[in-house]
Amino acid sequence: MLSRRGLLAGSALALLAGCSSPPSGPPPGPPAVPEPTRPSALRDPVTVQRMHSAARGTDVDLVLITPEGVPASGLPVCLALHGRGAQARTFLSLGVPQLLTAAVRAGTPPFAVAAVDGDHYWVNVGSDDDPQRMLTDEVPGWLAGRDLRPASAVFGISMGGFGALRFARAHPDLKAVATASAALFVSWPDARSRKVFADEAGWRASEPLLHTADLRPEAVGVWCGESDPFLGADRKLVKAVNPAVSRFSPGKHDDEYWRGVLPDVLKFVGERLA
């Protein structure tokens, strides 16, 4: 006959044995791995990514700017083309992120700004480097991969103004085409002095002043400083196109002037993209 002490000891051993026995069924698997975040999320108002452009034969920066606090997915897009000697990141130093956010908070419909690196007046000048083909054939895919719409507006500064007007000729459905201090040339000797265009025929095929009939006046906005070396050429543009907005005000061909007109430019673009 078992004593009380023996019964207690046996019960304890049975309990321990039950606790140490292996659980029934297969062992639990590894913890679930979260899905990778898609690039289209664009949680930050500014992103800079290095992209390979086959059209340009090189890697370029893709700078995307969205208004702070506004979901980026599905926003309309304005291309931003920089001037000679600058780069896509120049629009960051000009304060576009802050100015775009301020414009939207003041009532301008939200949109995104997409800037890429370009060169030689944003046209193919007889080499394998074709910025216009990059804008037309490659940038739309880059934007779609980030849940942004195809570009329906373009803005250019200086050399970028030349490129923006050239891009608009090939895309007549653009809702806004804005230039600041557009670098335009009234004659072949003037253009040749820039040492960019291979020959006069190439310049004539690209020069916006020689193709103003291809532009839709209601979509065009022109800004230029009254002390800008391209003032005369930009006045010719305004006279030929009669754009929706043309503003000539004190200023030179420099960052100070461009920072000063950017709020008006962003408002102009946003109202037409709405």
pLDDT of residue 8: 38
Q: What phi and psi, each to the nearest 5 degrees, are found at residue 121?
A: 60, 25
Domain ranges of the chain: 46-273
Residue 30 confidence (pLDDT) above 50: no
pLDDT of residue 43: 61
pLDDT in tens, 39-98: 444 468 999 999 999 999 999 999 999 999 999 999 999 999 999 999 999 999 999 999
Residue 38 confidence (pLDDT) above 90: no
Proportion of the chain above pLDDT 90, given as a percent: 83
d(Cα 153, Cα 175) in Å, to the nearest integer?
6
Tokens of 251: 């200023």
Considering the domain delimited by 46-273, tell me its CATH architecture: 3-Layer(aba) Sandwich (3.40)
For every residue of 7-75, DSSP letters joined together read HHHHHHHHHHHHHHSPPSSSPP-PPPPPPPPPGGG--SSEEEEEEEETTTTEEEEEEEE--TTS--TT-
Quote the pTM value.
0.84
